[in-house]
């Protein structure tokens, strides 16, 4: 069978698609997957690195843009739609999965026009505009969190969770997964700001470092900064004397999760799903400008079960962050409770359910 995974832009959309692709090819060596995204999305770098196939199309958003940018967005959409038809004619997929992000709309709608079944996956508690529109015509909508059910037609919506990559799923059986601080080991902190890094987390951490001098001998920090702040953040760590590794992007997130006792990060949906599987205690700092404040809602879904800590951006300061780190370091039992509660919220079979559903739908597509 052949599958197209459409969409991406950021890691939060792309990586669930990669998880489904991994599951799909594992079912049958003859299965084929093609990703369709945009040239400026994260997929342009990551998909070829993984040895998977990618085609790019033109696409951009229209929400929140002014008149001329909207017209440009519509023009790009129409061009992307025609490119999508060409791709569909050439690759002849049995099914299409839209994972959100700009490229998923033209490709999924072109698939509908050619009577190829398409499905969508929504990662967030509050869905984006693309998925709300695509849900109207999709065979089924896969959702990650119960909270998003109300936005979609009940009879065609299935709660699956957020598909996790094989490397992340392997963390579930890792024995070293729970915090090691109780044994008096070095306390290892992972700081990252979603797939692109987060300037305000970088700044808060830089401001926190001078206030962490009493912890200096006991902590080590891995900090992902994104492209822009790398040098500035690396300098701040060097000055602080705290053992650290500072990187613009982490290729092997499974390894980064595995070694962490505490994680400080944004609350993007895929991050949230991954840290539950990894059974890690997190201080979530939701991105306050995410559409409909969905990152806060993603974090609150865990907070209700005492499965994370949360700091809102308006409460964020170096002082506060340092105090929170110190507090949790002094309470290993609390750290472990949060980690275990996080694990209890993990949904591990999303990719399997999604692939089962998709291959169970006999394609009625006829590619003209
Ligand atoms: C600012 C914004 O609107 N961000 C959205 C975007 O976030 P973003 O793309 O940051 O998405 P997530 O936080 O959900 O996921 C990040 C993904 O990137 C991976 N990763 C991250 C850092 C790194 O160095 N290496 C790496 O591989 C993580 O393992 C994870 O798989 O999509 C998410 C899913 O729709 C939304 O919930 C977020 O609100």
| Domain CATH for 289 | 3.40.50.2000
This model of the complex carries an ipTM of: 0.95
How far is 316 from 313, CA to CA, in rounded Å? 5
Instruction: Tell whether 88 and 226 lie within a shared domain.
Output: no
Residue with CA at minimum distance from ligand 1 atom 10: 194
Is there a single domain that holds both residue 159 and residue 175?
no
**308 in the same domain as 213:** yes
Q: Domain range for residue 79?
A: 2-164+348-359
Do 162 and 183 form a contact (C-beta atoms < 8 A)? no
The 10s digit of each residue's pLDDT in 69-107 is 888 888 888 999 999 999 999 999 999 999 999 899 999
Spatial CB neighbours of 235, under 8 Å, sequence gap ≥ 6: none
Domain-embedded: residue 364: no
The DSSP line for 72-93 is HHHHHHHHHHHHHHHHHHHH--
Would you say residue 14 has pLDDT above 80?
Answer: yes
Same-domain check for residues 59 and 14: yes
Backbone angles phi, psi at 63, to 5 degrees: -65, 135
Measure the CA–CA gap between 344 and 109, rounded to whole angstroms: 37
Domain count within the chain: 2
What is the chain's alpha carbon radius of gyration, rounded to the nearest angstrom?
A: 21
**Is 165 marked as binding a ligand?**
yes
Average pLDDT value for residue range 220-225? 98
pLDDT tens per residue, range 148-195: 999 999 999 999 999 999 999 998 876 555 555 545 679 999 999 999
Ligand 1: residues within 6 Å at CB? Answer: 10-13, 15, 100, 123-124, 192, 194-196, 224, 249-250, 253, 266, 268-271, 274, 287, 290, 294-295
> How long is the chain?
368
Closest CA to 56 of 14, 113, 24: 14
């Amino acid at each position: 069978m052949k599958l197209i995974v459409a969409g991406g832009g950021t890691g939060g959309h792309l990586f669930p698609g990669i998880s489904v692709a991994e599951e799909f090819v594992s079912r049958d060596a003859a299965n084929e997957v093609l990703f369709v995204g945009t040239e400026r999305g994260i997929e342009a770098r990551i998909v070829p690195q993984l040895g998977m196939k990618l085609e790019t199309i033109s696409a951009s958003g229209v929400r929140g843009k002014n008149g001329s940018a909207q017209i440009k967005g519509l023009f790009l959409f129409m061009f992307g739609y025609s490119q999508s038809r060409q791709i569909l004619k050439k690759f002849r997929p049995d099914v299409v999965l839209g994972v959100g992000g700009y490229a998923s709309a033209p490709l999924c709608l072109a698939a509908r026009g050619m009577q190829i079944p398409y499905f969508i996956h929504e990662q967030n508690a509050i869905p984006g505009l693309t998925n709300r529109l695509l849900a109207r015509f999709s065979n089924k909508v896969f959702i990650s969190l119960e909270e998003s059910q109300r936005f979609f037609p009940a009879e065609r919506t299935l709660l699956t969770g957020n598909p996790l990559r094989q490397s992340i799923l392997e963390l579930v059986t890792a024995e070293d997964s729970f915090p090691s601080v109780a044994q008096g080991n070095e306390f290892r902190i992972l700081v990252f700001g979603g797939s692109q890094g987060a300037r305000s987390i970088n700044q808060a951490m830089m401001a926190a470092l001078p206030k962490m001098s009493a912890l200096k001998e006991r902590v080590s920090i891995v900090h992902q900064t994104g492209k822009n702040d790398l040098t500035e953040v690396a300098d701040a760590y060097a000055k602080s004397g705290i053992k650290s590794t500072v990187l613009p992007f982490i290729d092997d997130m499974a390894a980064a999760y595995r070694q962490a006792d505490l994680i400080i990060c944004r609350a993007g949906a895929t991050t949230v799903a991954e840290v539950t599987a990894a059974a890690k205690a997190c201080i979530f700092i939701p991105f306050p400008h995410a559409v409909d404040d969905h990152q806060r809602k993603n974090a609150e879904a865990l907070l209700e079960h005492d499965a994370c800590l949360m700091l809102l951006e308006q409460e964020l300061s170096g002082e506060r962050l340092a105090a929170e780190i110190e507090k949790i370091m002094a309470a290993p039992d609390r750290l472990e409770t949060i980690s275990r509660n996080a694990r209890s919220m993990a949904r591990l079979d999303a990719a399997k359910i999604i692939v089962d559903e998709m291959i169970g739908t006999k394609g009625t597509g006829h590619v003209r």
